[in-house]
Amino acid sequence: MGVSSYSPRQELLLPVRAGFLWLTVLAALLVNLLPWAGFWTWLKPDFVAVVLLFWIVREPRLIGFGVAFVLGLAMDVAMASLFGQHALAYTVIAFAATMLRRRLRMFSADKHVLQILPILLTAQAVILLVRLAGGAAFPGWTWFVPAITGALLWPIAWVVLLAPQRPRIDPEHPI
């Protein structure tokens, strides 16, 4: 038991290329902008939030509060929502990611889900509170579903976004 049950298998990863990071952020924004319809609309996770969370946890020197804020503004214009609500939610996400960064290293990716879920729920709750304060009607509990699907997306994001950093090991000459 002891250490092995907590700390995941240590990996030596290559440094991330900044181009790849920005490309994934852009791709997440693009997926968010896709015209989702019907049933998928309320199931749809906020891809930008998940990717943002991932990169702030992994690469806090490359990406931080400023980028989160600007992405939030872009989302607000794209969603035709209240200007600033996503900026606020993403700022909360950036803060939580900065605080959580060291703790997450203790767990493997599948166990991150329970750590990520409260963050995404908080972000949704922040938007909900802002809108309710502005006089909007409560949209129903399905409002929180994207946070759950977003948290479930996390292990996939972990594998996909880390893939380019995994060194290709030559089986003939390991190390």
Partner 1 sequence: MEHPQQPFFNRGPTPFARFLLFSLLALALIVADSRFKYLTIVQQAVAVVLYPLQRIALAPAALSERMSGFLVTQAQLTTRNNGLEQQNLVNAAALLRLEALEQENARLRGLLDTREAQSQAAVYAEILYSHRDPFTRRVIISKGLTDGVGQGQPVVDAAGVVGQVTRVYPWASQVTLVTDKDMTIPVQVMRSGVRGVLYGVGSDGLLELRFMPFSADIQTGDRLVTSGIDGTYPAGLPVAVVQEVERNAASMFSRISAQPAAGVNRYRQVLVLTAASAHPANPGFDEPSAPRKRGRKGG
Q: Residues in the site for partner 1, rule: CB under 8 A?
A: 26, 29-31, 33-35, 41-42, 64-66, 68-69, 72-74, 76-85, 87-88, 91-92, 94-95, 98-99, 130-131, 134, 136-137, 139-140, 142-143
Whether residue 72 contacts residue 90, with contact meaning beta carbons closer than 8 Å, is answered with yes
Nearer to partner 1, 20 or 36 (CB): 36
* Least Cβ distance, residue 76 to partner 1 (angstroms): 8
State the minimum distance, in angstroms, from the CB of residue 125 to partner 1: 14
Judged by CB, which is closer to partner 1: 92, or 161? 92
Residue whose CB is less far from partner 1, 29 or 162: 29
Closest contact distance (angstroms) between CB of 73 and partner 1 is 6
Q: How far apart are CA 167 and CA 92, in angstroms?
A: 33
How many Cβ atoms sit within 10 Å of the Cβ of residue 171?
5
* Nearest approach, Cβ of residue 1 and partner 1 (Å): 33
Instruction: Calculate the alpha carbon distances from 96 to 7, 17, 53, 80, 156 in Å.
Output: 21, 24, 9, 26, 20
- Phi and psi at residue 64, to the nearest 5°: -160, -145
Tokens encoding 85: 């609500």
Burial class for 150, CB neighbours closer than 10 Å (0-12, 13-18, 19+): buried
Alpha-carbon gap, residue 30 to 24, rounded angstroms? 10
- State the nearest-atom distance from the C-beta of 127 to partner 1, in Å: 9
Residue 91 is which amino acid? Answer: T
